[in-house]
Amino acid sequence: MEKLKIAGGYPLKGTVRISGAKNSAVALIPATILAESPVTIEGLPDISDVAILKDLLEEIGGKVQLSDNDMTVDPSTMISMPLPNGKVKKLRASYYLMGAMLGRFKKAVIGLPGGCHLGPRPIDQHIKGFEALGAQITNEQGAIYLRADELRGARIYLDVVSVGATINIMLAAVRAKGRTVIENAAKEPEIIDVATLLTSMGAKIKGAGTDVIRIDGVDSLHGCRHTIIPDRIEAGTYMILGAAVGEGVLIDNVIPQHLESLIAKLREMGVRVESGDDQVFVDGSTKLKAVDIKTLVYPGFPTDLQQPFTSLLTKAAGSSVVTDTIYGARFKHIDELRRMNANIKVEGRSAIINGPIQLQGAKVKASDLRAGAALVIAGLIAEGITEVTGLEHIDRGYSDLVGKLNGLGATIWREALTQEEVEQMKNT
């Protein structure tokens, strides 16, 4: 087990290249199950969620090759092997195995998903969608059993706008008989990316990226090549970091339109942000003003950037209010930021940040992926040394974090935990 050590308080400068999107990758990889010949996905991020999904595809008999971030999956030898626990629980997106295996084999047994602990994360809308398509679903001892004699297209209204449910229903519906209409669908860019892959595989999908998606089922899907979109959350994290400690950071391989809400908020704070075709330049060497943010479904401010943004707000003059309407309890990073001298209180779904305050290095623990990103940013802002544990969360979503930050001039490194620290971790 390892920890991150950060020597904070130094400005960052230079170019950072963004990797492929985690939240696309974790859906694109299961989607390959639906094809009957090899699919290649180019530009995957080097993160543990991808490595685990590769293992899961191999467990069900797939032949998978991963080299230089490109994955080729030959799904022709796959079978509907039950995947009740173990690796399935290490990530949230294992729920996509349900839709993909239901679409291809009309049956699946998948353990309940893991992922970041952000309060309750039900999957009732996924289940509602699969049932509408004709599947029978039971939950037995922590695993979901799905079976259908035949999948039939249906009109499905999502009671909650859900990224996961929208993609999962799409995965099953591409192989259903007839037309499926998903109403009140989520509109995140990752949904368009998955629809693009499925379309290249021969699926018929219209409206991905709007709140009504129409899918006409087909009898079979074939192999193809697909290039993943850049990770808007990773890009947003580096933009926030550039605003916090940057003296000119160029974020390369980004789709600026995916980050309009963040760009607007950074400018409102007084940060200089310039966007080009596939690059964003951020200069944080100005005085920062307090702003309020409210997380919303896309194109609103993403909940996945709420925690990193909170670290930035400790540097802003005045009182800022951060409200998370998607995950009302996504505030486990706050206690850790307080250990670093932040002046923040949590009231209901909101965190109130009073600044500016000089953060101080401390020993802190990442409770989830974006809490980890928030603590790394705080560590770069802080005076002195910060130690961050809980790296298994950060490794789920940030490709080569240490290498990329060192490339910008940061002093950050990984170090093995001492025996005493390992014991402490086991007891918490």
Ligand X SMILES: C=C(OP(=O)(O)O)C(=O)O
Ligand Y SMILES: CC(=O)N[C@H]1[C@@H](OP(=O)(O)OP(=O)(O)OC[C@H]2O[C@@H](n3ccc(=O)[nH]c3=O)[C@H](O)[C@@H]2O)O[C@H](CO)[C@@H](O)[C@@H]1O
Question: Quick check: is 116 catalytic?
Answer: yes
Backbone phi, psi, residue 147, to 5°: -150, 140
We find the least distance from the C-beta atom of residue 358 to ligand Y, in angstroms, to be 30
Binding of ligand Y by 340 (CB under 6 A) = no
Q: Which does 96 bind (CB under 5 to 8 A by kind): ligand X, ligand Y, none?
A: none
Pick the binder of ligand Y from 25, 29, 39, 123 (CB under 6 A): 123
Binding of ligand Y by 278 (CB under 6 A) = no
Which of the residues 12, 116, 201, 376 is marked catalytic? 116
Q: Which does 98 bind (CB under 5 to 8 A by kind): ligand Y, ligand X, none?
A: none
Range 13-32, binding ligand X (CB under 6 A): 22
Nearest to 91 by CA among 146, 27, 41: 27
Q: Which is nearer to ligand X, 303 or 360 (CB)?
A: 303
Binding of ligand Y by 92 (CB under 6 A) = yes
What angle is formed at CA 230 by the lines to CA 65 and CA 61, rounded to 5 degrees? 25
Range 301-330, binding ligand Y (CB under 6 A): 303-304, 326-327
We find the least distance from the C-beta atom of residue 129 to ligand X, in angstroms, to be 18
Binding of ligand Y by 26 (CB under 6 A) = yes
We find the least distance from the C-beta atom of residue 422 to ligand Y, in angstroms, to be 29
Q: Which is nearer to ligand Y, 46 or 247 (CB)?
A: 46
What does the block give as tokens for 304?
Answer: 């996945």
Of the listed pieces 68-76, 87-95, 192-200, 271-279, which binds ligand X according to CB under 6 A? 87-95
Q: Which does 122 bind (CB under 5 to 8 A by kind): ligand Y, ligand X, none?
A: ligand Y
Binding of ligand Y by 163 (CB under 6 A) = yes
* Distances 414 to 195, 387, 388, 420, 428 between C-alpha atoms, Å: 38, 9, 9, 17, 21
Q: Are strands 363-365 and 384-389 parallel, antiparallel or unpaired?
A: parallel
Q: Which does 326 bind (CB under 5 to 8 A by kind): ligand Y, ligand X, none?
A: ligand Y
Of the listed pieces 99-107, 139-147, 159-167, 273-281, which binds ligand Y according to CB under 6 A? 159-167
Q: 């037995």: which residue's tokens?
A: 140
What does the block give as tokens for 105?
Answer: 């084999």
Residues 6+ apart with CB under 8 A from 424: none
Of the listed pieces 10-18, 74-82, 157-165, 237-245, which binds ligand Y according to CB under 6 A? 157-165
We find the least distance from the C-beta atom of residue 370 to ligand X, in angstroms, to be 5
Q: Which is nearer to ligand X, 106 or 332 (CB)?
A: 332
Q: Which is nearer to ligand X, 25 or 201 (CB)?
A: 25
Q: Which residue is nearest to ligand Y (CB)?
A: 164
Q: Which is nearer to ligand Y, 23 or 261 (CB)?
A: 23
Dihedral sign from CA coordinates of 308, 310, 313, 314: negative
Range 361-420, binding ligand X (CB under 6 A): 369-370, 397
Q: Which is nearer to ligand Y, 112 or 317 (CB)?
A: 112
Binding of ligand X by 185 (CB under 6 A) = no
We find the least distance from the C-beta atom of residue 278 to ligand Y, in angstroms, to be 22
Binding of ligand X by 304 (CB under 6 A) = yes
Binding of ligand X by 47 (CB under 6 A) = no
Dihedral sign from CA coordinates of 263, 267, 271, 272: positive
Binding of ligand Y by 114 (CB under 6 A) = no
Q: Which residues bind ligand X (CB under 6 A)?
A: 22, 91-93, 115-116, 304, 369-370, 397
Q: Which residues bind ligand Y (CB under 6 A)?
A: 23, 26, 92-93, 121-126, 160, 162-165, 186, 303-304, 326-327
The residues annotated as belonging to the active site are: 116
